[in-house]
Copies of this chain bind each other. A is one copy, B any other.
Amino acid sequence: MTTPDSQPVPSTATSDPLRILITGSAGFVGSHLVERFLNEGHTVIGVDNYISGQVSNTELFLEHPRFTFIEADVSHGIPYEGEKLDWVMHFASPASPPHYQQFPVETLMVGAQGTQNGLELAHAHGAGFFLASTSEVYGDPHVHPQPETYWGNVNPIGVRSCYDEAKRYAEAITMAYHRSRGVNTRIIRIFNTYGPRMRPDDGRVITNFVHQALRGEPLTVYGDGSQTRSFQYIDDLVEGISRLMMAQYHEPVNLGNPDEFTMLELVNEITLIAGRQVSKKFERLPLDDPKMRNPDIILSSNLIQFKPSTPLRFGLSEVFKYFSSLDNDQ
């Protein structure tokens, strides 16, 4: 994400070695952070309770000399007793509708108690605290694209509120610790992100489409397929996170890819990668499903020269490879 003529933007790649604790380390995004930080020479402590993380994502790093793992539910405390941390990064939470609707209370808790336990740990260590928030805080937005200054349109008692309100709460308590206790905080609002190590059952559209294509099934399109989504490849997100850690900015920052695709356009991309015709079946939109969401990334572009650059076709083919290898393992 750097241009040839520019100085590299400060990121964890150019930082002295750091000691970083990551909650949700066995999750999709968490596991990519672990990988990046280990590759850059940092020390990583992963924490997960596997409520939606995957054991295989921990096993990838267990042999690494600079990785340690703690199996724990961070909503009940983070049992870390080691050396002084530089960062506590809170990425633990069920994040896909089928998971958080299966675990509504646990999702609410990891947003509240989990976030607070992370903030307390960061405060005790004089470490930075990095919160993974979400574009879901914008709900079903009335403003397009969504800048960070948009306050959102969330149903506080809807079936998605266990996730949306938990994340809004997490932002509020992060700001409270920053303002009243001086914790060095970061907040990102992650828009739709995809890549290898997504859970096969996360219910997200790319996961579903790739699985259905691999199995020769028709692709399930909700509504009429005209609703759009923006898709950010995991490597672009991780680069944005790594840069934001080195920036002194405490309010929320959008990280997403503004390129919009309708569901029907996505079907076409999948068809191209699958290398054969795939059929579609249409189903009703789920309750409270946001019709459209798209990041305004002017802030992150100015602040950290964030520029998601991975083409959808490349990213999708990586996902194809990943899910193919899983299918072959079974």
Enumerate chain A interface residues (CB-CB to B < 8 A). 104-105, 108-109, 111-113, 116, 137, 139, 151-157, 159, 161-162, 164-166, 168-169, 171-173, 175-177, 179-181, 187, 251-252
Contact = CB atoms under 8 A, between A and B. Distances in A.
A115 to B, nearest CB: 9
B157 A105 contact: no
Question: Which 9 A/B pairs are nearest by Cβ-Cβ distance?
Answer: A112-B112, A165-B172, A104-B176, A161-B172, A169-B169, A156-B168, A157-B175, A156-B171, A108-B173
A179 B107 CA distance: 14
A156 B105 CA distance: 21
Contacts of A157: 171-172, 175, 187, 251-252
A155 B151 contact: yes
Given A169-B168, A175-B161, A180 B104 contact: yes
Contacts of A104: 176, 179-180
B151 A153 contact: yes
A270 B39 CA distance: 69
A166 B171 CA distance: 11
A172 B105 contact: no
Q: Which of A111, A172, A175, A251 has the largest count of B CB atoms less than 10 A from its CB?
A: A172
Main secondary structure of the interface of A (DSSP, over half): helix
A154 B172 CA distance: 11
A154 B151 contact: yes
A176 B252 contact: no
A151 B162 contact: no
Given A116-B109, A151-B156, A172 B166 contact: yes
Contacts of A113: 112-113
21 contacts: A105-B177, A105-B181, A108-B116, A108-B172, A108-B173, A109-B116, A112-B112, A112-B113, A112-B169, A151-B154, A151-B156, A156-B168, A156-B171, A156-B172, A157-B172, A162-B172, A162-B176, A165-B171, A165-B172, A166-B169, A169-B169
Nearest to A155: B151
A52 B277 CA distance: 66
A136 to B, nearest CB: 11
Contacts of A168: 154, 156, 165, 168-169
Contacts of A111: 169
A172 to B, nearest CB: 4
Contacts of A175: 157, 161
A176 B105 contact: yes
Q: Which of A108, A155, A176, A251 has the largest count of B CB atoms less than 10 A from its CB?
A: A176
A323 to B, nearest CB: 31
A301 to B, nearest CB: 20
Contacts of A137: 156
A189 B280 CA distance: 45
Contacts of A179: 104, 159
B139 A151 contact: yes
Q: Which of A105, A137, A155 has the largest count of B CB atoms less than 10 A from its CB?
A: A105
